[in-house]
Structure 1
Amino acid sequence: MTDDVKHLWLIYRSAGFISAYNQKTIMINISIHFLFMIESYIDGIVKYGVNMKSNKVDVLNGSIAKQLMLFFFPILFGSLFQQIYNTTGAIIVGKFIGKYALAAVGGSTASLLNLSTGFAIGVASGGSVIIAQAYGNRDNEKLSKAVHTALSFGVIFGLIISIVMFIFSEKILIFLQVPSEILDDSTTYLRILYVGFVSSLVFNMGSGILRAVGDTKRPLYFLIIAVIVNIILDIVFVTVFHLGVFGVGVSVIIAQTVSALLVLNALINTEFEYKVNIKKMKIDPQILKNILIIGIPAGIQASLFAISNLTVQSSVNYLGADYVAAWTALSKIDSVYWMTIASFGISITTFVAQNFGARKHDRVKDSIKVCITIASIITIIISVVLYTLCPWIYRLFLSDYNVIQIGIKILRMMAPFYITYVAIEIIAGALRGVGDTIIPTVITLVGICALRILWIFIMFGRYPQIETIAICYPISWVATSIIFTLYYLILRPIDKKFAIQSKEFTKVEA
Structure 2
Amino acid sequence: MKQKKFDWGYFLKHIAIIAIPVALQNLLTTTGSMVDTIMLASIGEKAVGAVGLCAQFSSLMFSGYWGFIGGGMLFFAQYWGAKDHDGITRSYGMTLLFMTTVALVFAGLAIGVPSFIMGVYTDKPEIQAIGISYLRIVGFAYPLQVLSMAMSALLRSIERVKIPLYGGIASVIANCFFNYLFIFGKFGLPEMGAAGAAVGTVLAGVVNLLILIGFILHQRIPFVLEFSKHFRWTKESLQNYLIKCFPIICNEVLIGIGNMMINVVLGRQSEQAIAAVAVFRTMEGLVIAFFSGFSNAASILVGKEVGAGNHELAFERAKRLVYLCSAIISIACLTLLLVHNPLLHMLGLSGKSYEIGTGMLIIYSIAAIIRMGNWAQNDTYRSAGDAAFGSIMEITFMYLMVLPFVYLSNFYFHAPFLLVFAFCYIDEPIRYIIMQCHLYSGKWIRPVSDAGLATIDKFRAQHHIEVKRQKQSHNKS
Change (3 A) 1:265 1:398: closer
Structure 2 partner of 1:26: none
Distance 2:213 2:237 in 1: 21
Structure 1 contact 323–403 (Cα < 8 Å) conserved: yes
Structure 2 contact 22–292 (Cα < 8 Å) conserved: no
Distance 1:153 1:398 in 2: 39
**3-state SS in 2 of match to 1:494:** coil
Distance 2:41 2:351 in 1: 23
2:11 pairs with 1:64? yes
Q: Name which of structure 1's ranges 317-326 and 416-425 shifts more when overlaid on structure 2.
A: 317-326
Q: What is the TM-score when the length of structure 1 is the normalising length?
A: 0.76
Change (3 A) 1:496 1:179: closer
Structure 1 contact 65–371 (Cα < 8 Å) conserved: no
Structure 1 contact 423–484 (Cα < 8 Å) conserved: no
2:38 pairs with 1:87? no
Tell me the amino acid that sits aligned with residue 347 of structure 1.
Answer: A
Structure 2 contact 302–314 (Cα < 8 Å) conserved: yes
Tell me the amino acid that sits aligned with residue 126 of structure 1.
Answer: G
Structure 2 contact 319–439 (Cα < 8 Å) conserved: no
Q: What is the TM-score when the length of structure 2 is the normalising length?
A: 0.80
Query: What is the 5 A alignment of 1:322-361?
Result: 322-361=272-311
Q: Name which of structure 1's ranges 287-296 and 335-344 shifts more when overlaid on structure 2.
A: 287-296
2:55 pairs with 1:106? no
Structure 2 partner of 1:489: 440
Structure 2 partner of 1:204: 149
Distance 2:103 2:360 in 1: 38
1:482 is displaced (CA, Å) by 1.4
Change (3 A) 1:272 1:61: farther
Q: Name which of structure 1's ranges 228-237 and 461-470 shifts more when overlaid on structure 2.
A: 461-470
**3-state SS in 2 of match to 1:493:** coil
2:123 pairs with 1:173? no
1:378 is displaced (CA, Å) by 1.9
Query: What is the 5 A alignment of 1:49-448?
Result: 63-95=10-42, 101-107=47-53, 109-163=54-108, 165-176=110-121, 179-181=124-126, 183=128, 186-238=131-183, 239-240=185-186, 241-242=189-190, 244=192, 245-274=194-223, 276-282=225-231, 284=233, 285-316=235-266, 320-385=270-335, 400=350, 404-448=354-398
The Cα offsets for residues 301-333 of structure 1, whole Å up to 9 and x where unpaired, read as 334444434444454566645544555554444
**3-state SS in 1 of match to 2:231:** coil
RMSD of Structure 2 on Structure 1 (CA) = 3.5
Structure 2 contact 384–446 (Cα < 8 Å) conserved: no
Tell me the amino acid that sits aligned with residue 137 of structure 2.
Answer: I
Higher helix share: 1
Change (3 A) 1:286 1:216: farther
Distance 2:394 2:28 in 1: 28
2:413 pairs with 1:462? yes
1:161 is displaced (CA, Å) by 4.1
Distance 2:271 2:409 in 1: 21
Tell me the amino acid that sits aligned with residue 435 of structure 1.
Answer: G
1:114 is displaced (CA, Å) by 1.5
Structure 1 contact 85–231 (Cα < 8 Å) conserved: yes
1:191 is displaced (CA, Å) by 3.1
Q: Name which of structure 1's ranges 355-364 and 330-339 shifts more when overlaid on structure 2.
A: 330-339
Distance 1:427 1:74 in 2: 21
Tell me the amino acid that sits aligned with residue 255 of structure 1.
Answer: A
1:440 is displaced (CA, Å) by 1.4
The Cα offsets for residues 215-262 of structure 1, whole Å up to 9 and x where unpaired, read as 111101101101211221222234231151544333322221221232
Structure 1 contact 111–306 (Cα < 8 Å) conserved: no
1:294 is displaced (CA, Å) by 3.8
**3-state SS in 1 of match to 2:413:** coil
**3-state SS in 2 of match to 1:454:** helix
Change (3 A) 1:441 1:369: same
Tell me the amino acid that sits aligned with residue 132 of structure 2.
Answer: T
Tell me the amino acid that sits aligned with residue 189 of structure 1.
Answer: Y
Matched residue count: 447
Q: Name which of structure 1's ranges 370-379 and 274-283 shifts more when overlaid on structure 2.
A: 274-283
1:88 is displaced (CA, Å) by 1.3
Change (3 A) 1:266 1:385: closer
Structure 2 contact 402–424 (Cα < 8 Å) conserved: yes
1:133 is displaced (CA, Å) by 1.3
1:82 is displaced (CA, Å) by 1.0
1:448 is displaced (CA, Å) by 4.0
Tell me the amino acid that sits aligned with residue 341 of structure 1.
Answer: F
**3-state SS in 1 of match to 2:139:** helix
Tell me the amino acid that sits aligned with residue 242 of structure 1.
Answer: P
**3-state SS in 2 of match to 1:211:** helix
Q: Which has the higher contact order (CA 8 A, sep 6+)?
A: 2
**3-state SS in 2 of match to 1:301:** helix
1:211 is displaced (CA, Å) by 0.4
1:340 is displaced (CA, Å) by 2.9
**3-state SS in 1 of match to 2:426:** helix
Q: Name which of structure 1's ranges 218-227 and 284-293 shifts more when overlaid on structure 2.
A: 284-293
1:164 is displaced (CA, Å) by 5.1
Change (3 A) 1:236 1:286: farther
Structure 1 contact 410–466 (Cα < 8 Å) conserved: no
1:152 is displaced (CA, Å) by 4.1
Query: What is the 5 A alignment of 1:470-485?
Result: 470-485=421-436
Change (3 A) 1:434 1:314: same
Change (3 A) 1:118 1:487: same
Q: Name which of structure 1's ranges 190-199 and 97-106 shifts more when overlaid on structure 2.
A: 97-106
Tell me the amino acid that sits aligned with residue 413 of structure 2.
Answer: R
Tell me the amino acid that sits aligned with residue 282 of structure 1.
Answer: F
Change (3 A) 1:294 1:231: farther
Change (3 A) 1:181 1:224: same
Bigger Rg, structure 1 or 2? 1
Unaligned runs of 5+ in 2: 1-6, 458-472
Q: Name which of structure 1's ranges 132-141 and 193-202 shifts more when overlaid on structure 2.
A: 193-202
* Percent of residue pairs identical: 17
